[in-house]
Amino acid sequence: MNLLSGNFVDPLTWLCLDWILLLAAGWLLIGVAGVFALRRLTLVARVLFPVGGVFGLALSGLALHSLGAPSEVAVLPIGLPGLPFHFRLDSLSAFFLMLIGSVAAGVSAFAAGYFRKGEGTPPGLLALEYHIFLASMVLVVLADDAYAFMVMWESMALASFFLVTANHRIVEIQRAGYLYLLVAHIGAIGILLCFGVLQANTGDYTFANMRAQQLSPFWASTAFLLALFGFGAKAGIVPLHVWLPEAHPAAPSPVSALLSGVMLKTAIYGVLRIFFDLLASPIWWWGLLLLAVGLATALFGVVFAAVQVDMKRLLAYSSIENIGLLFSGIGLTLLFSAHDMPPMAALALTAVLYHALGHAFFKSLLFVGTGAVLHATGERNLGKLGGLIRSMPWVAWVTLIGVLASAGLPPLGGFVSEWLLLQSFLFAPGLPSALLDMLIPVAAALIALVAALAGYTMVKFFGVIFLGQPREEKLARAHDAGSWERLGMAWLVGGCVVLGLFPVQLIALIDPLTRTLVGAGLAETAGDAGWLLVPVAIERASYGPVIFLLGVAGSFALAFLLVRLLYHGRLRRAAPWDCGYPWQNARMQDTAEGFGQPIRQIFEPFLRMQRELPTPFDAEPRYRVSVGDHFWHWLYLPLARIVDRLASLIGLLQQGRIAVYLLYSFVTLIAVLLVVKQ
């Protein structure tokens, strides 16, 4: 590191890592500045958040620059004596830094226009928590020893906890925050123990030492399971997902965007770092386990997303689905790696990384879109929204692009990663194990089912919020997003479009990363055919999003022109057809519950449903349906009861009288003396 050891006067000699650490420090400074401007909303919103956004842009530029560069290391003499913080910038961290920086830029711009007066935590404090959150995510990704990693991981969890509970006077938000904090810490214990196993009794907790250790299969598998538990709790894999649909919707929308879009990806980073970097040689059943867990998570997430009636909860469940897809891709990568098939592993890993990036953009976009809707209407409940495309067209059209990307439709970003993932499943029959060969098509079928259900969910999400007639009077007066909000959304939507149209160029950027992790890359075949994405050979598969878009747009334009030229453009506006029943109103439209009904019927065993049906004699008939989670009732509540019972047993010791405590001390003393004497 030049900044501390060498010539730090001349910025030209600084390494990328120095600049990135400087940017993280800059974010921290912005946060501190927020403390001094605690209640001055204009200052916080118009200066601090935009500057933070610019830092995000700079971060993504620097990370992009260092994606293919050799790794850089730094040791900062802060932390405990004898335990300095080690940092390292390699391709893996550079990729995730790019993700954090680019998404944070858009979300910060949106946040500049989002926060208003009188929403729980004062704006200056929110700026502090927000920027500590960003900086700690950067440092998590850069950390090169277990100590620094855990410190940053915990500050990330704490900062995000305070952000989640920004509206801390609402009881549900308090509960959501508590649950989040609890699961985050149980997960952190898993990660800590994993590092303990990885250092193999050497007492040296640097990642360099862990990389050098040759663990026996037993200990390697132990480390694998601990890491899966720890990072899985952060990512929200089934059955550790229960906090996610509570905590993500509870936060203010820009924070939800960061939680779902970016923070979940730090868990993916951790998984990749440990499975492919620190644990050098994977065992095949790890991949199978990850694949199974990932598929279960994806299916669970998408089914629950389809039956939600709260727009932010719907998106949170959709994040669980995407995390499942990412985990199944990582599982497939591990399977290929364990069977020594680097080109296939590179294909699957590219799909994972691409999907991580794509999900970061479209999910952040959708969350900030719900934020704009929430501001304009004050409503999160899908049953009270509708018709907003007419009062807030700008948000509607931008969200539509996010919805298309999220539904995995060509030519947008979500489709590219889905396409690559399905391609890697199709190549799987080369695996030398008959059992795996048989399981892979079933897995591919599940992926296809999940993708199709995601389309269903997204049509419901967009259709119920933005289309149809307003279900409430006040919705007609909703206002479109402000200019800062538009700027942020435009940046995020730009990301979705670029990811969709230029996969060849972007995969060339990811190439050095897959080369270091699994020993092969896609770049030379992918770039061969110019604008066509060719993962292996052009006879096997190819996809050209730009030609695809031009094809659809061209036939659209041609059809439009021909119809106009050959016929006419006569148009008349009239009331919609009312089937001869003139008393129809907006409440008679299909609802979000109605749209979820087929899914509830088909997947009934998955869901814990409670229904109240009206009888013909009710004066005010009411229909109520609530969908609960089996895991919560079968796993978490019994667990909580056991903990409660144990705690009350231990509570017997606490009599609250000083004589009893003196007795305890006395007995302990006697016991110790007895032991020492022998």
Partner 1 sequence: MTWLGVVSQLLEIVLALLLAPLLGGWINQWRAWLQNRSAPALLQPYRTLHKLFNKESVLAEHASPLFRGAPYIVFGCMALASAIIPTLSTDLPLSPAADAIALVGLFAFARVFISLAAMDVGTSFGTLGARREMLIGFLAEPALLMVLFSASLISKSTSLTTIVETLAHRDLTIYPSLAFAGVAFTMVSLAENARVPVDNPATHLELTMIHEALILEYSGRHLALLEWAASLKLFAYSCIGLALFFPWGIAEAQAPLALLLAMPVLILKLAIGGVLLALLETLSAKMRIFRVPEFLATAFLLAVIGMLVNILVRA
Site for partner 1 in 443-482 (CB under 8 A): 444-445, 448-449, 451-453, 455-456, 458-460, 462-464, 467-469
CA-to-CA separations, 54 to 23, 104, 453, in angstroms, rounded: 10, 9, 37
Least CB distance to partner 1 at residue 333 (A): 19
Least CB distance to partner 1 at residue 480 (A): 14
387 binds partner 1 (CB under 8 A): yes
Backbone φ/ψ region at 389: left (φ over 0), alpha (ψ -120 to 50), beta: alpha
Nearer to partner 1, 53 or 369 (CB): 369
Nearer to partner 1, 565 or 675 (CB): 565
* Residue labelled with tokens 């990370």: 63
Least CB distance to partner 1 at residue 612 (A): 22
Cα separation, 90 vs 207, in Å, equals: 13
Element (H, E) at 440: helix 434-466
Nearer to partner 1, 217 or 393 (CB): 393
Query: Site residues for partner 1, window 117-156 (CB under 8 A)?
Result: none
Stretch that binds partner 1, among 125-133, 337-345, 482-490, 541-549 (CB under 8 A): 541-549
286 binds partner 1 (CB under 8 A): no
Query: Site residues for partner 1, window 510-539 (CB under 8 A)?
Result: 529, 532, 538-539
Cα separation, 621 vs 490, in Å, equals: 45
Stretch that binds partner 1, among 14-22, 99-107, 384-392, 509-517 (CB under 8 A): 384-392
Candidates 378, 432, 519, 594; binder of partner 1 (CB under 8 A) is 594
Query: Site residues for partner 1, window 173-212 (CB under 8 A)?
Result: none
Q: Which residues pair with 83 in a beta bridge?
A: 80
User: Can you list the pairs that 151-159 forms with residues at least 24 positions away whose Cβ atoms lie under 8 Å?
Assistant: 151/79, 151/85, 153/188, 153/191, 153/266, 154/188, 156/263, 156/266, 157/181, 157/184, 157/185, 157/188, 159/129, 159/130, 159/132, 159/133
User: Can you list the pairs that 442-447 forms with residues at least 24 positions away whose Cβ atoms lie under 8 Å?
Assistant: 443/291, 443/295, 443/328, 443/332, 446/295, 446/298, 446/299, 447/295, 447/298, 447/325, 447/328, 447/418, 447/421, 447/422
The residue count for the chain: 678
Main-chain phi, psi angles of 629, to 5 degrees: -110, 125
What is the C-alpha radius of gyration for the chain, rounded to an integer number of angstroms? 27
Stretch that binds partner 1, among 326-334, 490-498, 552-560, 608-616 (CB under 8 A): 552-560
Contact 201, 230 (CB under 8 A): no
Least CB distance to partner 1 at residue 188 (A): 38
543 binds partner 1 (CB under 8 A): yes
Which x/- pattern over 631-650 shows residues binding partner 1 (rule: CB under 8 A)? --------------------
Cα separation, 534 vs 426, in Å, equals: 14
Cα separation, 185 vs 183, in Å, equals: 5
User: Which tokens hold the place of 137?
Assistant: 């995510």
Output DSSP code: residue 241: -
423 binds partner 1 (CB under 8 A): yes
Candidates 40, 175, 390, 608; binder of partner 1 (CB under 8 A) is 390
218 binds partner 1 (CB under 8 A): no
Q: Closest Cα to residue 115, out of 55, 158, 52?
A: 52
Nearer to partner 1, 37 or 444 (CB): 444
Query: Site residues for partner 1, window 39-58 (CB under 8 A)?
Result: none
Residues 6 or more apart whose Cβ sits within 8 Å of residue 628? 607, 608, 609, 610
Helix, strand or coil, per DSSP, at residue 608: strand
Candidates 556, 634, 664, 666; binder of partner 1 (CB under 8 A) is 556
Least CB distance to partner 1 at residue 284 (A): 18
Least CB distance to partner 1 at residue 202 (A): 45
Least CB distance to partner 1 at residue 574 (A): 5
605 binds partner 1 (CB under 8 A): no
Nearer to partner 1, 208 or 537 (CB): 537
Query: Site residues for partner 1, window 298-357 (CB under 8 A)?
Result: none
CA atoms within 13 A on the CB side of 465: 34
169 binds partner 1 (CB under 8 A): no
Cα separation, 339 vs 282, in Å, equals: 9
- Number of residues in contact with partner 1, rule: CB under 8 A? 84
Stretch that binds partner 1, among 186-194, 405-413, 622-630, 656-664 (CB under 8 A): 405-413
Query: Site residues for partner 1, window 566-585 (CB under 8 A)?
Result: 566-568, 570-579, 584
